[in-house]
């Protein structure tokens, strides 16, 4: 029995999570996997009513779950930063979800803006460091509001944090068993302290993985290669901020925010799975948002639980469903949000063991 904390959150979050739960319930009956879902109302709505984001007690309670299934956090009436810091980043940090795993995979029959690129060309995974770097919130103002103002925002990199991330990425490249190539994405030509630490750690750890090709690309160049030659990549490991930026580009080349899912992973603790597209206020409540990303996030959760047969069957159902949609973008799918959920659910079948 898997205990899953469900945080539908804001905007279109509840609509896409509803479809994900529809799928997980179908998985449950086909594969005899038991889930115990408990819903939590963290998000902008609750914040506007109560002034609360997420507390230490809330975090303690979440620690008793096997995983968290998250919709979206972000509300147009709340000043930027409050909910992001107060809920999403707090969860990532407090639960020490030090990896943000973001697959970039173009499914067959999904349109990519890259001319002449096919599903076999766009299939890689970004391992984003998720608890350090520019995201730690260290810094401050001096003489704020005057013409002598100074604003500092520090980028923190620890040997421990870098090493566990790099190690996870090497292990992942090995387990993925594809091109067996790991590319470090950093900016060693300018960030000569912070990214020197990344570079040294990467090459030291690489010696323990002679079966994995260790490669390097500067972050600016990688945005170029991701567009020009995405087929070069197998696994990319990178810092928190760079990972944030390049995975939005990744989402676009795999067909858009409607398909991109991610996992905030603590390999020894509670992990959290989410569609990476955000709360999309302008599509909220219209039953037109694409739930595939949220469904793909539930597939990542099944994989994380080691339920590989169920995850495989779900991936096949997703692939076959996206082939039937007119487009991946909200309002243009040819189906409503809930109809897309139904299409995926119908296609979930038991896989026969030969």
Q: How many residues bind ligand IPM (CB under 6 A)?
A: 5
Q: In the complex, what is the shortest distance from the CB of residue 133 to ligand IPM, in angstroms, rounded to a whole number?
A: 11
Give me 242's structure tokens: 């760079």
- Which distant-in-sequence residues (6+ apart) come within 8 Å of 50 by Cβ? none
Q: CA torsion sign, 185 to 186 to 188 to 189?
A: positive
Nearer to ligand IPM, 6 or 101 (CB): 101
The interface region with ligand IPM, picked from 26-34, 83-91, 205-213, 315-323 by CB under 6 A, is: 83-91
What is the distance between the alpha carbons of residues 100 and 240, in angstroms, rounded to a whole number? 8
The binder of 84, among Mn ion, ligand IPM, none, by C-beta within 5 to 8 A per type, is ligand IPM
Cβ–Cβ < 8 Å for 69, 297? yes
Picking from 303, 306, 304, 299, the residue whose alpha carbon sits closest to that of residue 347 is 299
Of the candidates 19, 234, 244, 307, which one interacts with Mn ion according to CB under 5 A? 244
Q: In the complex, what is the shortest distance from the CB of residue 331 to Mn ion, in angstroms, rounded to a whole number?
A: 22
Of the candidates 244, 256, 260, 325, which one interacts with ligand IPM according to CB under 6 A? 244
Q: In the complex, what is the shortest distance from the CB of residue 89 to ligand IPM, in angstroms, rounded to a whole number?
A: 6
| Tokens 């990532």, located at residue | 92
114 binds ligand IPM (CB under 6 A): no
Picking from 238, 288, 295, 277, the residue whose alpha carbon sits closest to that of residue 107 is 295
Of the candidates 54, 88, 95, 310, which one interacts with ligand IPM according to CB under 6 A? 88
Nearer to Mn ion, 119 or 278 (CB): 278
Nearer to ligand IPM, 132 or 244 (CB): 244
Q: In the complex, what is the shortest distance from the CB of residue 46 to Mn ion, in angstroms, rounded to a whole number?
A: 22
User: With helix as H, strand as E and coil as C, how does 305-332 read?
Assistant: CCCHHHHHHHHHHHHHHHCCCCCCCCCC
What is the distance between the alpha carbons of residues 342 and 25, in angstroms, rounded to a whole number? 12
Nearer to ligand IPM, 134 or 162 (CB): 134
276 binds ligand IPM (CB under 6 A): yes
What is the distance between the alpha carbons of residues 177 and 186, in angstroms, rounded to a whole number? 24
| Tokens 């303690």, located at residue | 60
Q: In the complex, what is the shortest distance from the CB of residue 244 to Mn ion, in angstroms, rounded to a whole number?
A: 4
Q: In the complex, what is the shortest distance from the CB of residue 100 to ligand IPM, in angstroms, rounded to a whole number?
A: 7
129 binds ligand IPM (CB under 6 A): no
The interface region with ligand IPM, picked from 84-92, 170-178, 214-222, 280-288 by CB under 6 A, is: 84-92
| Distance set, CA 122 to CA 111, 214, 273, 311, 314 (Å) | 12, 19, 22, 20, 20
The binder of 15, among Mn ion, ligand IPM, none, by C-beta within 5 to 8 A per type, is none
- Which distant-in-sequence residues (6+ apart) come within 8 Å of 129 by Cβ? 98, 99, 100, 161, 162, 165, 237, 238, 239, 240, 243
Q: In the complex, what is the shortest distance from the CB of residue 251 to Mn ion, in angstroms, rounded to a whole number?
A: 9
Cβ–Cβ < 8 Å for 209, 174? yes
Q: In the complex, what is the shortest distance from the CB of residue 336 to Mn ion, in angstroms, rounded to a whole number?
A: 27
The binder of 301, among ligand IPM, Mn ion, none, by C-beta within 5 to 8 A per type, is none
Nearest residue to ligand IPM, scored by beta-carbon proximity: 84
The binder of 88, among ligand IPM, Mn ion, none, by C-beta within 5 to 8 A per type, is ligand IPM
Please tell me what DSSP assigns to residue 152: E
Strand pairing category for 235-238 and 261-265: unpaired
What is the distance between the alpha carbons of residues 315 and 184, in angstroms, rounded to a whole number? 28
84 binds ligand IPM (CB under 6 A): yes
Q: Backbone phi, then psi, for 208, in 5-degree steps? A: -80, -5
Name the residues that contact Mn ion, by CB under 5 A. Answer: 244
Name the residues that contact ligand IPM, by CB under 6 A. Answer: 84, 88-89, 244, 276
């Amino acid at each position: 029995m898997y205990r899953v904390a469900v945080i539908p959150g804001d905007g279109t979050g509840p609509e896409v999570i509803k479809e994900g739960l529809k799928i997980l319930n179908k998985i449950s009956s086909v594969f005899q996997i038991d889930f115990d879902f408990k819903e939590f109302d963290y998000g902008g709505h609750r914040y506007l009513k109560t002034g609360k984001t997420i507390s230490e007690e809330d975090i303690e309670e979440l620690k008793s779950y096997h995983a968290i299934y998250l919709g979206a956090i972000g509300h147009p009436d709340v000043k930027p930063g409050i909910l992001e810091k107060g809920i999403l980043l707090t969860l990532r940090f407090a639960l020490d979800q030090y990896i943000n795993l973001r697959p970039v995979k173009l499914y067959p029959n999904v349109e990519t803006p890259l001319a002449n690129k096919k599903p076999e060309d766009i299939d890689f995974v970004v391992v984003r460091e998720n608890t350090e770097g520019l995201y730690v919130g260290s810094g401050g103002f001096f003489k704020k509001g005057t013409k002598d103002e100074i604003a500092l925002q520090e980028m923190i990199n620890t040997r421990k944090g870098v090493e566990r991330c790099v190690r996870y990425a090497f292990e992942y490249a090995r387990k993925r068993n594809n091109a067996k190539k790991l590319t470090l994405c950093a900016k060693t030509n300018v960030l000569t302290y912070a990214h020197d630490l990344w570079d040294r750690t990467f090459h030291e750890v690489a010696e323990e993985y002679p079966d994995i090709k260790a490669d390097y690309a500067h972050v600016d160049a990688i945005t170029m290669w991701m567009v020009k030659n995405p087929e070069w990549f197998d696994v990319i490991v990178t810092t928190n901020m760079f990972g944030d930026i390049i995975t939005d580009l990744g989402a676009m080349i795999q067909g858009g925010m409607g398909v991109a899912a991610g996992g905030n992973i603590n390999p020894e603790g509670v992990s959290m799975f989410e569609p990476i597209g955000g709360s999309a206020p302008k599509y909220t409540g219209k039953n037109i948002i694409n739930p595939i990303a949220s469904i793909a996030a539930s597939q990542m959760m099944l994989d994380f639980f080691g339920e590989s047969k169920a995850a495989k069957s779900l991936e096949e159902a997703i692939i076959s469903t996206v082939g039937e949609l007119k487009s991946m973008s909200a309002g243009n799918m040819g189906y409503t949000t809930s109809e897309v959920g139904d299409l995926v659910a119908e296609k979930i079948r038991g896989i026969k063991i030969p």
